[in-house]
A and B are shown apart, each in its own frame.
Chain A
Amino acid sequence: MTHLTMDALVGLREPGTEPGQAAAREHLNQCAHCQAELQRLHQRVARLKALPTLRPSRDRWPETKARFSADRRRRRTRAVGLSGLGLAASVALFFAVGDLPRTPDDPTTDQLSQVMERSSLLEGAISDYNPGGRVLDGRTARIAGELEDRIARVDRQLEATELLRQQPDDRDLLKLWRERVGLLDALVDVHVTRASNAGL
């Protein structure tokens, strides 16, 4: 006598009837061996369900919360800041290259353009790294969060400087943009160093 295969036995545990199951059930009704196999399958599943619950060895909530808070700040900064910062950058460039009493080869203007370009490159690097889609340890998440907070503060200062003053001094702008680049550099370091240390 040919007994039921494991495929057939597993299929018999499924709700509903599939083609071939009627024949399998008919065989089952007449075969003590297959009845015992099906019973063992039921028992195995019951034992799987009864395995002890495994618990995490440490609390991951502080890290998860820090990562979520950093992500929320980043999204807020992006939502509010990108439009504001885009405007701020346009204003800065307008004053940098606009019809103002500056010499064409004003070193401050050149430096401002360079530092803004560097800022854009670093933002791109961070975006490519996609920190929001990665697992961060608590320390990294905390440091990254602090740096993002400071970047957001600089962004607000930049907006205020550029929008409230009629003729912002390039040196003030340069100072703020340099601070922004320094913070972005540090943020890249935090993520990239962490990734290389962790072998990611």
Chain B
Amino acid sequence: MTGTLLMDSSLLANAETVVARARAGDTRALGELYRAFEVPVYNLARRICRTTEDAEDVLQETFFEVCRSIGRYREEGSLWGWIRTIAASKALMRLRRNKYRETDELHDEAVGHKREDTHLRMDLEAALERLSETSRAVVWLHDVEGYTHEEIANMMGKTPSFSKSQLSRAHARLRTWLGEENIP
């Protein structure tokens, strides 16, 4: 997790001091933690959640948990790795709570095989947005954040095989939606 250690130092130069002050109950230090990690936490939440409101709620939930649990943070891993896992768990909890409709599957049912024939092209943002909540979460956590299938399975309460199949299914869909299947 070298990348996450680099994130710590790039986002918060004096991380150790700030964490020590936060552990002692210094609210300003907690504010500094928030300012340092607010954007990556929101970005992760927004990539997983369907709406900005949900992502903002996940942001608040994450830092509320960080404030409450900073005393339990062990400095063996990176601070960003610790905060990111809280954020990912909160975002996945939000998905479970909202029980969003699986939009791409509904679309499949409505359109049938027509979509396969039309080869409509989308940009990556739109295609990612179109994936089901679960597939998008797996794609983001695995391909971008670097979690293993075992870690994702733990967070989702599923098996690693579930995570693997979600990932390959998502890539098959992205490939179609991005119009890549006709590229020689």
Q: Which residues of A does B touch, CB under 8 Å?
A: 5-7, 9-11, 14, 36, 40-41, 44-45, 47-49, 51, 53-58, 60-61, 63-65, 67-69, 71, 135
B38 with A56: CB separation less than 8 A: yes
With contacts A11-B164, A56-B59, A67-B60 taken as known, whether A49 is within 8 angstroms of B171 at the C-beta atoms is: no
**B159 interface contact, C-beta 8 A:** no
Name, among A6, A45, A49, A53, the residue most crowded by chain B CB atoms within 10 Å (CB to CB): A6
Given contacts A10-B168, A54-B46, A55-B42, is CB(A61)–CB(B64) below 8 Å?
Answer: no
Q: Is the CB of A51 within 8 A of B38?
A: no
The distance in angstroms between the C-alpha atoms of A45 and B178, with both chains bound, is: 13
The 4 A-B pairs of least Cβ separation, nearest first, read A68-B67, A10-B168, A6-B172, A6-B168
**Residue ranges of B at the interface with A (Cβ–Cβ < 8 Å):** 27, 30-31, 34-35, 38-40, 42-43, 46-47, 52, 55-57, 59-61, 63-64, 67-68, 124-125, 128, 139-140, 143-144, 149, 164-165, 167-169, 171-172, 174-175, 178, 180, 183-184
Give chain A nearest CB distance to B35 CB in angstroms: 7
Question: Could you pull out 6 A-B pairs where Cβ atoms are within 8 angstroms?
Answer: A6-B168, A14-B149, A44-B171, A48-B143, A51-B125, A64-B63
Nearest Cβ on chain A to B65's Cβ, whole angstroms: 10
User: When A and B form their complex, what is the total count of cross-chain residue pairs whose Cβ atoms lie within 8 Å?
Assistant: 99
- A69 contacts across to B, CB distance below 8 A: 27
Chain B residues with CB under 8 Å of A9's CB are 168, 171
Residues of B within 8 A of A67 (CB): 60, 64
Instruction: Say yes or no: A40-B52 contact (C-beta < 8 A), given A48-B139, A54-B42, A55-B43.
Output: no
Q: How far apart sit A36 and B184, CA to CA, in the bound complex (Å)? A: 8
What is the minimal beta-carbon distance from B16 to any residue of chain A, in angstroms?
Answer: 22
Given A53-B40, A54-B43, output 9 extra A-B contacts at Cβ < 8 Å. A6-B169, A10-B171, A40-B175, A60-B60, A61-B34, A61-B63, A67-B64, A68-B67, A71-B64
Among A44, A61, A65, A135, the residue within 8 A (CB) of B174 is: A44
Contact of A44 among B34, B39, B42, B175 (CB under 8 A): B175
Give the interface SS of chain B, mostly helix, strand, loop or mixed. helix
Instruction: List residues of chain B with CB within 8 A of the CB of A5.
Output: 168
Flag if A61 contacts B124 (CB, 8 Å). no
Whole-angstrom CA separation of A57 from B38 in the bound complex: 11
CB contacts (< 8 Å) of B39 on chain A: these are: 53, 55-56
| Complex Cα gap A164–B183 (Å) | 85
- Asked, given contacts A49-B144, A64-B63, whether A57 binds B34 with beta carbons under 8 Å apart, the answer is no
Q: Which residues of B contact A63 (CB under 8 A)?
A: 60
Bound complex: CA A150 to CA B118 (Å): 65
Question: Is B124 a contact partner of A65 (Cβ separation < 8 A)?
Answer: no
Q: Closest Cβ of chain B: how far from A36's Cβ, in Å?
A: 7
Contact with A60, one of B59, B124, B140, B164 (Cβ below 8 angstroms): B59
Cβ contacts under 8 Å, B47 to chain A? 51, 54
A44 and B67 alpha carbons, distance in the complex (Å) = 36
Which of A11, A56, A71 has a CB less than 8 Å from the CB of B56?
Answer: A56
